[in-house]
Amino acid sequence: MSRYRPPRPKGSPYITQEGEQRLREELKELWKVERPVVTAVVQAAAANGDRSENGDYIYGKKRLREIDSRVRFLRKRLDELVVVTSAPTNPDKAYFGAYVTLENAEGEVHHWRIVGPDEFDLSAQKLSCDSPLGRALLGKTIDTEIVIESPSGPQTWYLNAVRYVDDSR
């Protein structure tokens, strides 16, 4: 029996301008700031001699591998991303980048922004367009009932509002 796992399907290539800027800042921070510091620590630890029991050397090399892996991913991903800068022609429908107001069957109101898979953050009310709820919302108009299947059973949501400008600030 092998441990083979098929690769995960790629996420949608869409991203907002803010999300792209955040990824570029992360790449710059990793490459220009953090990597040189860790490299200096590893060099100093290597100069101490025995590397087999040198914690700074071992953990520094591990952190360098993590940084290099993330930098490779970010460079490749940034090349294939499509930055969505304009609102759609029909502002009454929920599309990528929309701020939506949803109400569940219990009457609880939730506010979400539909964003790409590289920038979703549920604590910041950013919902991935690849998530089940995000996919169900795309193309829907105001006052539409949306039913999605969840592990606990079907969930019903009502789309109350769609806007493309953040007026919550």
Q: Which of 83, 104, 133 is the last residue of a domain?
A: 83
| Residue 77 in domain | yes
The whole-number pLDDT of residue 169 equals 47
Q: What are phi and psi of 98, to 5 degrees?
A: -75, 145
Residues 3-46 have pLDDT tens digits of: 888 887 778 899 999 999 999 999 999 999 999 999 999 999 88
**pTM of the full predicted structure?**
0.83
As a whole number of angstroms, the distance between CA 91 and CA 8 comes to 33
96 and 151 belong to one structural domain: yes
| 132-133-139-140 Cα dihedral, nearest 10 degrees | 140
Question: What is the domain-level CATH number for residue 106?
Answer: 3.10.50.30
